[in-house]
Structure 1
Amino acid sequence: MNRIERINNALTSIHHEVVYHSQEECPKDLLAALGQAFTHIEPLSWSERLAFGGVYLNGVRCEHNTNLTIPCRVEYFEPKFPIAEAKHAFPSFSDKYILYEDDDLVAVFKPRGLPSTPNREQSSYHLKQYLEDYYHCSVHLPSRLDTSTKGVMMVSRSERMHGRLQRLYERRLVKKEYLLEVPVRFDWETNEIEAPIARSALHPVLREVNSERGKPAKTHFERFREQSFVDRDGTTHDSTLLLAKPVSGRTHQLRVHCQEFGPSIIGDNFYEGLFADELHLLSYRVSLWHPFFDREMSVSVPDNLLPEWIPSEKMPTP
């Protein structure tokens, strides 16, 4: 399996696209275009698929049929699971994931495999929706975790907190700490990577270090524990558990910076990490100054939610 095949295999949908340049070739409306272009899909299912999400017209999600005008681009991110069984394709919500709550702020644990917000192929199964169903109000996520990453997230649940929490993140006043495992031993105790990150031309989901097009990105790493990892072939690798503190918040920042200074994170299917059952990356702790209680608060992943690759003894202190 080459790198592109591995990336596509890890994605939860298959991308289809058709572009119309002339009126003669362009169907009258979106449903006609979908039925004509993607003949492997049952035509009568398109109304349900539109409502589920994943259909885009000129880059904008469409949930209803609409007339087409040229030029136009129709895309469909086809889920790899049957839509009727979607609820079994994503982790369910549990109140044990609520790590802290008050009238304005929630600290929540996001399990791996659950999008933070609506993703490309569907708009129903994601953490934001779960929390809105749980609290019966609108919530705001100023920072997101990748679908394959688990751990702590801060979420606002009141109008007066939405803007304040957003500004805390924008001003880099929220301290985020991650634990990750890489298959190598280091001769340093701390290391700082400052390398700009840009979109990669190799694949739409990828990012890369690029000094010309990249946006500034900085991560502070601390060697936390040396351990070992046994891969799926039974080979044992020396590994290191790192405490990572991103100063900036670029997409895939920790994953790209790890690849830049050494081996990629174990289980990282996007950046050629050793194969594993899951991505060995955890949002372990988030700390901030609560604007209404006027005190600093810090929320960590409890021992009962730690992944198997992180021993629970002697966890890092704030």
Structure 2
Amino acid sequence: MKWQAARPEKLIAFLQAQLGGSYSGKQLRRALEANLCRVNARVERFGSASIKTGDTVELASSWKNLVAQKPAPIETIYEDEHLTIINKPAGWVSKDIQPSKLVHRLDKDTTGLLILAKSHLAFEKMKGLFEKKEIVKEYLALVDGHPSQNEGRIENRLGKKGSYQGQTIWGSSPTGSIATTEWKALAKGKNSTLLLCKPLTGRTHQIRVHLAEMNHPILVDRQYAKSFRCKHFIQRPLLHAHTLRFIHPFLNKEISLKAPLPRDFQEVLKLEHIN
């Protein structure tokens, strides 16, 4: 859906007028926050933004689906008397998942495998495995552009650099904590590349920062990139905790799990002609 502004006004008022007043400001702001609106080919996330006469305003065709969407259910991938391992959907804040105790965290818009402990003892045992680096995690990330190499290893120090919309920004810092990520290109699309990323340390936003600093940010991680080569409407940063492997501390057997990609990630892969 595309229109041209006939006069200056606020973006949210313009959208409501174009859509016949059928949708509330709150509903339309959900579409804006999901990166589904562009003004003059640039994503605009704020309904309070002013548009000028002649500006081109575009709304992704998927916005109605988003507005009508109910929160995705949480799928259990593995469960026993000690642990529950879920496939976290986008939009869920890790700390709000109850009643079990979180062993680690995923960012709000990151999907995939998340470990929850059913007792304090199980929590301590799993934290111990993380500290000894005996839990192997792999992520899938769809990044902007095409890296010049097919694989690599990034190691530096990460520290706090500032803030963006109330969120802490992390980046390279001589006084920060050591962070190491290995990555490998799995497939190339028209304007993107699907990477398999293996974090060897567990710093906040580690994969996101490392990929942004190699000039191939995750699509569309606006906290760490201002512009992207790939121009698809994408609702969130496409990062997925794909696999998990460890020796169960109580059952003494290997647990090897894989979480399927969520639908929105799959849809962008199709648009990019990545099988």
Pick the TM interval, shorter chain. 0.5 to 0.7
Greater CA drift, 266-275 or 144-153: 266-275
Using structure 2 for the length normalisation, give the TM-score. Answer: 0.66
Shift of 1:306: 7.4
Is 1:100 the counterpart of 2:100? The answer is no
2:110 to 139, 144, 149: 149
Q: Once the 2 structures are TM-superposed, how far is the Cα of residue 167 of structure 1 from its aligned partner?
A: 0.7
Query: 1:170 and 2:121 equivalent?
Result: no
Report deviation, 1:253. Answer: 0.4
Map 1:244-259 to 2 at 5 A: 244-259=197-212
Match of 1:263 among 207, 216, 222: 216
Cα-to-partner distance string for 1:290-309 (whole Å, 9 max, x where unaligned)? 11221111111136767323
| CA deviation string 1:144-185 (max 9, x = no partner) | 000111111111113431110111112211111000011222
Give the number of equivalent residue pairs: 201
- Deviation of 1:189 (Å): 2.4
Please name the residue that 1:39 is paired with.
Answer: none
CA 1:189–1:172 in structure 2 vs 1: closer, same or farther (change >3 Å)? same
Q: Displacement, 1:310?
A: 4.5
CA positional deviation for 1:262: 1.6
Q: Distance in 2 between matches of 1:111 and 1:304?
A: 8
Relative distance call for 1:303 and 1:194 in structure 2 (3 A) is closer
Describe the SS at the equivalent of 2:130.
helix
> What's the counterpart of residue 200 of structure 1?
161
* Of 252-261 and 184-193, the range deviating more from structure 2: 184-193
Change (3 A) 1:290 1:266: same
How far residue 280 of structure 1 moved from its aligned partner, in angstroms, is 1.0
- Cα distance in 2 between the residues matched to 1:241 and 1:161: 34
- Write 1 or 2 for the structure with the bigger share of strand: 2
Q: Distance in 2 between matches of 1:222 and 1:266?
A: 17
Q: Does 1:216 align with 2:174?
A: no
- RMSD, aligned α-carbons: 2.7
Give the 5 Å matches for 1:54-65: none
Is contact 2:162-2:168 (8 Å) kept? no
* 8 Å CA contact 1:287, 1:299 repeated in 2: yes
Partner deviation per Cα, 1:57-78 (whole Å, 9 max, x = no partner): xxxxxxxxxxxxxxxxxxxxxx
Q: Which runs of 5+ in 1 are unaligned?
A: 1-8, 12-87, 118-125, 133-138, 229-237
Deviation at 1:201, TM superposition (A): 2.9
| Shift in CA distance, 291/264, structure 1 to aligned 2, threshold 3 Å | same
Structure 2 CA distance for aligned equivalents of residues 177 and 258 of structure 1: 15
What amino acid is the match of 1:111?
Answer: P
Alpha-carbon distance in structure 2 between the residues aligned to 1:93 and 1:181: 21
Q: Structure 2 CA distance, aligned partners of 1:199 and 1:91?
A: 35
Q: 2:87 aligns with which of 103, 109, 130?
A: 109
Counterparts in 2 of 1:15-94, with a 5 A limit? 92=71, 94=73
Q: Hey, what's the Cα distance between the residues in 2 that align with 1:251 and 1:91?
A: 29
- Bigger relative CO (Cα 8 Å, ≥ 6 apart): 2
User: Is this contact kept in 2: 1:226–1:239, CA < 8 A?
Assistant: yes
One-letter identity of the residue aligned with 2:94: S
Q: Is the 8 A contact 2:146 2:216 kept in 1?
A: no
Paired with 2:69 and 2:120, the residues of 1 have a C-alpha distance of 29
The residue aligned with 1:189 is 150
Answering whether residue 187 of structure 2 is matched by residue 225 of structure 1, we say yes
Given that 2:242 and 2:261 are in contact with CA atoms closer than 8 Å, whether structure 1 keeps it comes out as no
Distance 1:271 1:225, change over 3 A: same
CA–CA distance in structure 2, aligned partners of residues 223 and 206 of structure 1: 26
Shift of 1:261: 1.1
- Cα distance change on mapping 1:281 and 1:159 into 2, 3 Å: same
Match of 1:84 in 2: none
Amino acid at match of 1:186: P
Question: In the alignment, is the contact (CA less than 8 A) between 1:91 and 1:113 conserved in 2?
Answer: no
Change (3 A) 1:106 1:276: same
Q: 1:222 & 1:254 partners in 2: Cα distance? A: 13
Instruction: Report the CA distance between 1:94 and its aligned residue.
Output: 3.0
